[in-house]
Chains A and B, each alone.
Chain A
Amino acid sequence: MAKIAKPAELLKNTGFDSVPQTHWMDTPVDFRPGTWLFPGKAESLIAVDLPNPRKWSPEDADWKLPPNWKEIILDGMRERLQRYRSFRVFMDSCVRCGACADKCHFYLGSGDPRNMPVLRAELLRSVYLYYFTPTGKTLGRFAGARELTEDVIKEWFYYFHQCTECRRCSVFCPYGIDTAEITMIGRELLNLIGCNIDWIVTPVANCYMKGNHLGIQPHGLVDSMDFLVENIQDITGIKIEPTFNRKGAEILYVPPSGDIFADPGTFALMGQLMLFHETGIDYTLSTYASEGGNFGSFTSMEMAKRLNAKIYAEAKRLGVKWIIGGECGHMWRVIHQFMDTMNGPGDFLETPVNPLTGTRFEHAKATGMIHVTEFTADLIHEGKIKLDPSRNDNVKVTFHDSCNPSRAMGLLEEPRYILNKVCNHFYEMPEETIRENTFCCGGGSGLGADENMEMRMRGGLPRANAVRYVHEKFGVNMLSCVCAIDRATLPPLMHYWVPKVAVCGVHELVGNALIMKGEMKRKQNLRFEDLPGVEEDGNE
């Protein structure tokens, strides 16, 4: 991993308040260590039939592109122009007003003008203008058009992997131009000639073959689950019995696989398992569809579909009536906006009905899948579970809206309602940085690798900046979220920018506060830390 400068030094050169002297078209990409990601391993490309598997490095002069790479890209563009109205309208409508410019966390953190959403889109638009419009063809650079060269491909590779597809820019654009959409198309094009990153392609290959991004085989999943079950028993005295691949269950539960393996996601998963046990719902997990997340969506829509197909296929095979999805961000973009379209119709499922409250989740009647916070908020609102929020009194909590649940779904109040019921100290970050204005963790859309740590810290700066504000003002020490990628990327971000703030899933706090029937007197929270007040009790 490249060494990264101290926070104070990095802060000094974010520099988005000025612009460089040279025109962006004349500035070659500087593949500086710490800012780019390693290319996809050949064997992973082969596993999912992606073209041009080879050994290469972005630092090399020769990227070993296929001989007809240019034709492939231009054909790919033509095809996508015929398939996506978004692509056409976005290519044609930008007026370069700059409203989106300072809305991108990567621009705010790096000051690199090509990280302004408008210029990120121009990287592709310039080629579109040159090859697909009369104005660009005749007027060239004056009209912002340029020829497609290998340097352009390098630039695409660099900057389309410095966009986390967070959609923040699209909130502010007067025409709704969504640079995330352009990045997605840009990455699809790059994939046609084998220019992709390993942090995406290898999880994709794992997920395709083994059912989850981490490549954990079925028995490994069972082992990990046993470990979590033991922990829950140690803490509560209750042995819960989650099942895998059980036919005839009413509900299929699909969490992001990260939550089964890595702290602090495991704590959030434990909270959900405890809740499911306490409510007695009839649910099962799947080892085959053991991944709610979908790194395929960071590759191409086709790959997104290939990975997502497992969820419905497994729901059908097991004969469940409906599905609950776990706390994950981009997973919910795919579930909410793409799944039914890609792999539906989901009409073999029923409209989800909460067996305890009788609430029908009409808003999910077509897909048959609800978000776990929708389920939990309903339970709490209808008074079906008992909570002791004082068990979370050691934390002062704020909430990070993940990009996709906020801007591609609108899941804003559900987690907040829960947080307000399960803890006594909840503080919001400034409004420019939450809800639909939320800032990305800096490592979403497959960019959460180690080798680009500097760029992650830069991209995460606006988020950290807002956390720092509530940390200093209210003493906030816990950053909660509903996203597995966040739970992997925010801890190092906090460690770097705002030490002393930890990260948790919303359901970790639910698990702590949940009063379970027959539980022993709880002494520790899900992290095996003493509950607030325990020590004083012991001293009495």
Chain B
Amino acid sequence: MQMLIALAIVAGIAAIGYIGGMMPALQFLFAIVLPLLAIAIFLVGFVWKVWSWAKTPVPFCIATTVGQQKSLPWIKQDKIGNPSDTASVVRRMAGEILLFRSLFRNVKAEIGPNGWLGYSVEKWLWLFAVLFHWSFLFVVIRHLRFFFVPSPAIVRGLEKIDGFLLFDLQPLFLSGILLLVGIAALYLRRIVIPQVRYISHGIDFVPLFLIAGIALSGILLRYVWPTDVVAVKSMTMGWVTLNPVLPTNISPLFFVHLTLVSVLLAWFPFSKLMHMGGVFLSPTRNQRANSREYRHVNPWNYPVHTHTYEEYEDEFRDRMKGAGLPVDKE
């Protein structure tokens, strides 16, 4: 039910985009105001959110250690799993951010015969996540060509790698297809695995449908109902130069694409999609695990009441003496 609401919301957004594209009168709104506003909300919101995390102190060293500590010289330290210096933390973080190393550890628990437990390797989530995130990144980078004249070398290089297959004598960009495959797999996982379905909120489906809609409309625009790329670029360059150009000759389908992207951007900072920033700031991953070697300082460490030795001795002095224990005061 909640999932259907999410679907309806996204479908509604797409429909609004379509209508916007159909009506020349609304084009200013949909081609200029909405995208620019979305970009502004995204930038300000993202920075605001990351700032709200970054300014919050990390009072204790809470690194999760997943390997041997640094101790005796002849015991081999696991520098990545239990990093004691900054360079190792950087490697650990790179593993998390680029390769999703923690997700790669995944094992699945199962109830075996007689009710006892067993474990098996389960890399699907890791695979889908890698597929999805990397192809998303490729797609985003490819789209940079709409914002630079001429399009940057990195974009052209990537296009060569990404588009080595040909479809109807045009390069077929694998990343777009894989993005759609990845999102479909993540969606199926969410509804097929009972536990994952159980923990899902309606809102968890919104980004899935949004991104699926974006990918699908993008693919259609490229291969099935191509739109006028030159017109699109003049519009996007208009945003960049803050010199708005009203598009001409752009299909309503393009406005579906654009509106979905705008909503995704504007909503991003307020959603769980902020895990993109969170992964960089997670204290269990980005701290050095050397808290006995170097003191970690808590900026709000405040004095507390303790039961002092003097109070203790006052209470127990006679018994301590009786038991032959030394005392400070006779």
- Residues of chain A whose beta carbon lies under 8 Å from any beta carbon of chain B: 8, 11-12, 14, 16-20, 24, 49, 81-86, 88-90, 92-99, 101-103, 108, 113, 116, 118-119, 122, 133-135, 139, 141-144, 167, 170-178, 181, 208-211, 217-219, 222-223, 244-247, 287-288, 301-302, 305-306, 309-310, 313-314, 317, 335-338, 340-342, 344-346, 359, 361-367, 369, 374, 377-378, 381, 406-414, 417, 430, 432, 435-437, 461-462, 465, 468
Contacts and interface: CB of A to CB of B under 8 A. Distances in A.
B309 interface: yes
The secondary-structure label for the interface of chain A is: helix
Contacts of B300: 83
11 contacts: A18-B194, A92-B274, A99-B125, A174-B102, A218-B320, A301-B59, A310-B307, A340-B295, A381-B74, A414-B75, A465-B117
A217 B316 contact: yes
Contacts of A102: 108-109, 195
Interface of B: 2, 5, 49, 52-54, 56-72, 74-76, 78, 81-82, 84, 96, 100, 102-103, 105-111, 114-117, 119, 125, 129, 193-204, 270-272, 274-275, 278-279, 281-285, 289-298, 300-301, 304-309, 312-313, 315-316, 319-320, 322-326, 328
Nearest to B111: A17
Given A113-B199, A175-B279, A287 B105 contact: no
Contacts of A374: 71-72
A81 to B, nearest CB: 7
B230 to A, nearest CB: 38
Query: Most A CB atoms within 10 A — which of B84, B107, B307?
Result: B307
B287 to A, nearest CB: 10
A462 B232 CA distance: 58
B291 A341 contact: yes
A417 B74 CA distance: 11
A19 B194 contact: yes
A95 B312 CA distance: 50
Nearest to B272: A95
B56 A81 contact: yes
A461 B118 CA distance: 12
Given A365-B293, A366-B292, A432-B107, A142 B81 contact: no
B271 A135 contact: yes
Contacts of B74: 381
A223 B324 CA distance: 11
B199 A118 contact: yes
A74 B66 CA distance: 34
Contact of B203 (A142, A246, A369): A142
B69 A142 contact: no
B103 A174 contact: yes
A366 B294 contact: yes
Contacts of B281: 85, 89
A142 B109 contact: no
Contacts of B84: 363
Given A141-B202, A174-B275, A408-B63, 19 more contacts: A16-B195, A19-B194, A88-B56, A93-B272, A103-B109, A113-B198, A142-B2, A143-B203, A175-B278, A209-B307, A288-B312, A302-B304, A341-B295, A367-B295, A377-B75, A407-B64, A408-B62, A409-B69, A410-B65
A222 B57 contact: no
Nearest to B200: A96
Nearest to B297: A341
Nearest to A246: B326
Contact of B309 (A302, A317, A407, A412): A317
B110 to A, nearest CB: 7
Contact of B319 (A95, A141, A217, A435): A217
Contacts of A98: 125, 193, 195-196, 199
A314 B279 CA distance: 41
B49 A92 contact: yes
Nearest to A381: B74
Query: Most B CB atoms within 10 A — which of A142, A313, A344, A381?
Result: A142
A93 B106 contact: no
A335 B292 CA distance: 8
